[in-house]
Amino acid sequence: MKTYYSIVSIATNSKLNEKFNIGLLCVTSEQTFFHFSKDKFKIVSKLLSTNGRKLAMSALKGMEDQICNTSASGEALFGQEGMKLQAVSEPYIAYLNRYNNNLVQYSTPVTIDLDVDYTVFKTLFKKYVYRDEVFYSVIEPKAKTFVKIRNSFRKEAKAYASTNFNVTGKIIKDLLAPVHVDAFGKNGAFVSGQTMDFAKDVTALQSEITSFLYLTEHTLIANKDSKSFVLGEEPKKKNKVNHQLWQNIYKAKKVEFVPVDESDKIIEYMKEKGVKPVE
């Protein structure tokens, strides 16, 4: 996944196209970095009305909140399934660039061939935004461990199964609705592999379990030798509903639960049984 950045600026006079760089947003395959200079904002905001200063600060703080909130859930704004490690996606930055409020603006995303970490981000910031910036903190969400597990499993399974895949009625007869799975292959029978975050929101977890069990039922109807795996880890017992859902999967006869540190068990099964991608 490529790395790109967008320069955040404040337009003090849109008629004269007068604007000042105030912040930097940088997105890598695993992290999103965002920072704006409060010292420079104090200087630039003197050119704005009182209402303009409030709107600009609100927009900048709003981006900080969006990055923190979407990173916590593992979802991308305007992103795709494979982009979940990002707090904001390139299409979303492009959207901000096209539909800004003419006050806080985001430049067209620029692709760079660099491995960006906290140190590199600060260097880029000082180059493009404000060389005298003193960094006390940078919005630097950590990539979710579970998302790393999911991506790692998909990568390992790719040689034997279709990954990040929608199973439809064209593949399995009478499947009324598509089911999205991390890995899906066949060797005469069907083999499904799904990572599940048992610590996630209960409603979302229940929906994911129901969807995967629905697929499992239909693969068994299509071929009784079909096999389904759930890759996950036991949630904390204090989260009673989550833990009960985990227990239901752990004890289920139609699916096999595999701890996250034993994912190679699923890969070995696919390898030994000659499982191939369905695409």
Tens digit of each residue's pLDDT (9 = 90 or more) over 124-167: 999 999 998 887 655 545 445 777 888 899 999 999 999 999 99
Distance CA 58, CA 64 (A): 10
Question: Of 66, 101, 128, which residue constitutes the final position of a domain?
Answer: 128
Same domain? For 27 and 119 the reply is yes
Domain that holds residue 48: 3-128
DSSP H helical segments within the chain, as ranges? 38-44, 50-73, 90-98, 118-128, 145-157, 202-222, 240-251, 264-272
Whole-model pTM: value is: 0.52
Are 199 and 150 contacting, i.e. CB atoms less than 8 angstroms apart?
no
Task: Write the burial class of residue 243 (CB in 10 Å: 0-12 exposed, 13-18 middle, 19+ buried).
Answer: middle
54 part of a folded domain: yes
Same domain? For 53 and 177 the reply is no
Question: Of 74, 96, 128, which residue constitutes the final position of a domain?
Answer: 128
Residues whose CB falls within 8 Å of the CB of residue 10, separated by 6 or more in sequence, listed in order: 19, 20, 22, 41, 44, 45, 48, 56, 103, 104, 105
Identify the pLDDT of residue 85.
37
Same domain? For 172 and 242 the reply is yes
Same domain? For 209 and 247 the reply is yes
Distance CA 75, CA 85 (A): 7
Same domain? For 96 and 210 the reply is no
Which residue numbers in the chain have pLDDT < 50? Answer: 71-87, 140, 142-143
Identify the pLDDT of residue 225.
95
Residues whose CB falls within 8 Å of the CB of residue 246, separated by 6 or more in sequence, listed in order: 198, 232, 234, 235
Structural domain total, the chain = 2
